[in-house]
Amino acid sequence: MLEAVVSLLAGAVFGLALAAPPGPMNAVIAEESVLRGWTAGARAGLGAATADFVFFLLAYAGVVAFIERLTLLRAAMVFVGGLLMLYFAYGAAADARGTYTATDAPEEGKGFRKAFVLALTNPYQILFWLTVGIGLLQAGTVDALAPLSAAFSGLLVVRTGSPALLVGLFAGIGVWITGFPAALVAARDRMDALAPAVAYASAAVLAGFGCYFLYDALVTVL
């Protein structure tokens, strides 16, 4: 029972580690949250999480590793992802100029599709499922504290491949995609100027990652 709880908590930590770092997905969630409210932000987060679930299924079937070996296919996916990020960066900047509140923001409901498509072409998520994700799926045990000292051996054992670990993983993602939009909306309600600022920042992040992904795809091919 204790091992299952530890695995559940470890999975939640991995889920937060996957979802929380700054990047294009959180830029989309931030834009949707401050311009359209918590529901739109959580919906965008659900789009990214759905893509992670797709990657989970593909990793389980061995497809993710197969795609990584096809250099041209991976480069094409990254290139398309870069173009999409530049397109959505333009949209984020346009939204910031046009409206600042959740009540009159355009394109309500498109955050899920936007985040889902971007996540499917995001090499960082592909890389996660090629490395950490595959390791989490393989049956085994990890004695997390043993490398620190022999005295800690057996105190924190995580069972990889267990249902508890995988449930914890997606629970951690769920905590982030609901809590992050809520925090942003709360901040927006206290300071109206935050909405356009976040939208412009989201546009900058998306544009930056878009340019980098285009460069990465071209370098891979050439």
Q: Do 172 and 13 form a contact (C-beta atoms < 8 A)?
A: yes
Residue 149 has a pLDDT of: 52
> Angle at Cα 131 formed by Cα 128 and Cα 134, nearest 5°?
100
Give me the amino acid identity at 184.
L
| pLDDT tens-place string over residues 132-191 | 677 677 777 666 555 555 555 665 667 777 888 889 999 999 999 999 999 888 887 665
Please give the tally of structural domains in the chain: 1
Domain that residue 134 falls in: 2-221
Q: Residue 189 in contact with residue 34, Cβ under 8 Å?
A: no
Contacts of 198 (CB under 8 A, 6+ apart): 30, 31, 33, 34, 184, 188
Distance separating alpha carbons of residues 149 and 151, to the nearest angstrom: 5
Give the whole-angstrom CA distance, residue 78 versus residue 127. Answer: 12
Q: What's the pLDDT tens digit per position in 52-63?
A: 999 888 888 877
Percent of the chain with pLDDT over 90: 15
In contact, 126 and 64? CB cutoff 8 Å: yes
The predicted-structure confidence for 111-134, as pLDDT tens digits, reads as follows 899 899 888 887 777 777 776 677
**Residue 160, beta-bridge partner list:** 140
Q: What pLDDT does 101 receive?
A: 43
How many C-beta atoms lie closer than 10 Å to residue 155's C-beta?
A: 13
Mean pLDDT of the chain: 76
Between 98 and 78, residue with greater pLDDT: 78
Report pLDDT for 116.
93
DSSP assigned state of 144: T
Contacts for 215-220: CB closer than 8 Å, 24+ residues apart: 215/82, 216/75, 216/78, 216/82, 216/123, 217/75, 217/76, 217/78, 217/79, 217/82, 218/75, 218/79, 220/71, 220/74, 220/75, 220/78
